[in-house]
Structure 1
Amino acid sequence: MDAFHEGQRVWVEQQDGTQRAAIFVGEADQASWFGGQPAAYVVYPDTKSGEEVALMRVVPREE
Structure 2
Amino acid sequence: DPKHCNFCKKMRQIQLKFSGEIKKEFKNLKIWESDKLLEEPLGIDGLRKLANEIYGDITADEILNPKR
TM-score range, shorter chain: under 0.3
- Larger RCO: Structure 1 or Structure 2 (Cα < 8 Å, ≥ 6 residues apart)? 1
Name the structure where helix makes up a greater proportion of residues. Answer: 2
State the TM-score, normalizing by the size of structure 2: 0.18
Q: Which has the larger radius of gyration?
A: 2
